[in-house]
Structures are given as structure tokens and as C-alpha cells.
Amino acid sequence: MGVEIKCVVWDLDHTLWDEVLLETSEVSLKPGIREIIQELDRRGILQSIASKNDYAAAMSKLKEFGLDDYFLYPEIHWHAKSYSITTIQQRLNIGLNTFLFVDDQLFELEEVQSVHPDVWCLEAKELSALLDHPRLNPQVVTEETGRRRQLYKLDEQRNRAEESHTGPKEEFMASLQMKFMITEACEGDLQRMQELTVRTNQLNSTGITYSYEELKRLSELDEYKLLVCELTDRFGSYGKIGLALVEVDATAYHLKLLLMSCRVMSRGVGTVLLTYLIQRAREEGKRLLADFKETDKNRLMYVTYRFAGFREIKKQDRHLLLEHDAQEAVGYPPSIKVITPQYTINS
């Protein structure tokens, strides 16, 4: 069946609307297309444009239809559509295997497929059954799911602010006024945590997914702690962007799962949750262990562990056991205010 689709990239002429915009301004939306776009957005599926067209005219027409705000990083120009998809993918920082490209021209579909074989390419005439396809029906739809486009819109604002900043990067990071909040997960967090385990691949320490029921059961056991993270800055909230599942006994914290949204890695927060756990282990004189399973996509998570001071103590096939000695004091990045629970994790 394939992985869940995270972004749909649309052509415009004869796909989103009838006719060719440069030949007539009297174009009309294809039947049902507005409803498809709105429903994909509700499901948290991002959308963009790859169209050979005049940018100003196309965006003006989308605005006239009340649809311009639904599309992130639209690529409207005369370059190859494979180039457009490359650009969109780099800006969104999600895998090409999570992209769907819709176009009415077989030539354009074949051109994209030849450059990006992992992209699902679909003829526009097949749109009627699109919303029923399993790859476009996420396992979990939460309140945060429906805000995903807005979260990326905030990221656009941050990126523009960074690009226009002329001083050192450290100065810009400090200007963001970031707050990283670590809390023990409550009932209302569990569905979002399930969604994170399903959607996060690169910064996922084991690749294990957990159902809502599994997470609820673990949260009720004294020997496990579920921690969830949220990041905010002067632009707004990034949402719930990370979690940790920790097994606790009298001598050790054992990190069974750690994951972090790729959206926040450029903000230097990758090791904040690990630093918190290192501090707690040091204060209580416990070992800090971590499970790690090598996958085709999570090399960056392994680098994050090593950068934080973890070392391998056991390896079997692709399964690793890591340890941090938690002897030396470690600090948080200076540009981030970290708010932690008012308790110590005890066995």
C-alpha cells in the first residue's frame, strides 16, 4: 500500500480548474475539487502547487477562489515539475515517498516519475476516489493534525525572518525567545503521541509505533514515564514536537523510545530532552540507558545520541544498547528557556 501521504502537489490547468489560465481568465474549479482540498487539509495533509504558469496570475486566481492559503511553497514557473517537487520537498523536509503529484498530462507525470521514482504520480481524471485511498487516510487525526498547515505557515514566517537577519545566527536564535516545555503526558496528549510515533521516521530511536491503547496502558504503570515536549517562540507554538518513553527502576533510567519532529531540528533543540534525562540521572545517581534500532532513515537520531555523549555498550544485528555515564553536569542551549516538570522521576 505504501506509507501515508504527507503532501499533495497539484498542477493547475485542467487539474484544479478547467481550461488554460493564460488563454482565458474564465476558468472554473473542477467539480468537487474544493471539497477535496479542504478535507485533505482537515486530515493534516499538506498541499502545494507545481504548475507551468504565470505566478501572479495563478495566485490571483487561487485567491479569487479562496484557496490560495491552502498551498505551501507553491512552485509556479516554467521549470520542470520534478525541479518544483525537489524544491517543495527541501522546504518541507519530509520524505519524497510521502508525496503525491497530480497532473492531467502524462508527459508531466512521467517526467516527475523518472526523476523521483518514490513519488506517487496520479492522473487528474482519477481524482474521484482520491479521498478513499488508504494512503490518504491517516491512522490518527487530532486537533493538532488540523492545524498542521498553520504550523508550517508559522515556519515560513520564521524562515523569512532568518533570511532577512544580517547578524550572527546566535543572535537570531536568541531573538526567537524559544521556550521548550517538558511535561508528563496526560490523557489529552496520547493521541498526538500515537501520531508522532506513526509519522516520525528520521528522528525516531527505534522506529516502533504505539497505539493509543498501548500508550494509555504504559502511562498508568508506575515503572514507566511518558514525557511530551512542546516548543514555542515569539511567532507562536510549534506544537507537541517530541516524546520520550522511559522505564525506571532503582538503578537506571532506560529510554525505550525517543523521537523528535524534524521541523524543529534547525532550532538546535535536538538534545534538550536528552539533557533533561541526563540531569535527572546524575542527580539520582542512576545509569542512563537507551535503546536504538538502526533503520534506513534514522541515522540522524544516532548522531544526536552520540553528540549528547552516549556510547554503545551492546549491539546485536541492528539493535543497539547505548549508555551515558551521567557524571558531568550538562547544560541546555543558551538561546532556549527550558521548563521541566516539578518532580524527579523516581522508581
- b vs e for 50-65, b when ≥16 Cβ sit within 10 Å of the residue's Cβ? bbbbeeeebbebbeeb
Output the pTM of the full model: 0.81
Positions in the chain short of pLDDT 70: 1, 342-347
CA gap 219, 149 in Å, rounded: 30
Question: CATH number for the 145-339 domain, one of 3.30.70.790, 1.10.443.10, 3.40.630.30, 3.40.50.300?
Answer: 3.40.630.30
Of 204, 166, 179, nearest to 333 by C-alpha is 179
Residue 199: what pLDDT? 78
Residue 328: what pLDDT? 78
Residue 165: what pLDDT? 93
Residue 228: what pLDDT? 92
Residue 345: what pLDDT? 45
Boundaries of every domain in the chain: 7-136, 145-339
CA gap 51, 30 in Å, rounded: 16
Set of cell numbers at residue 155: 515556519
**What is the bridge-based pairing of β-strands 319-324 and 287-293?**
antiparallel
Set of cell numbers at residue 240: 507537541
Residue 342: what pLDDT? 63
Which CATH architecture group holds 7-136? 3-Layer(aba) Sandwich (3.40)
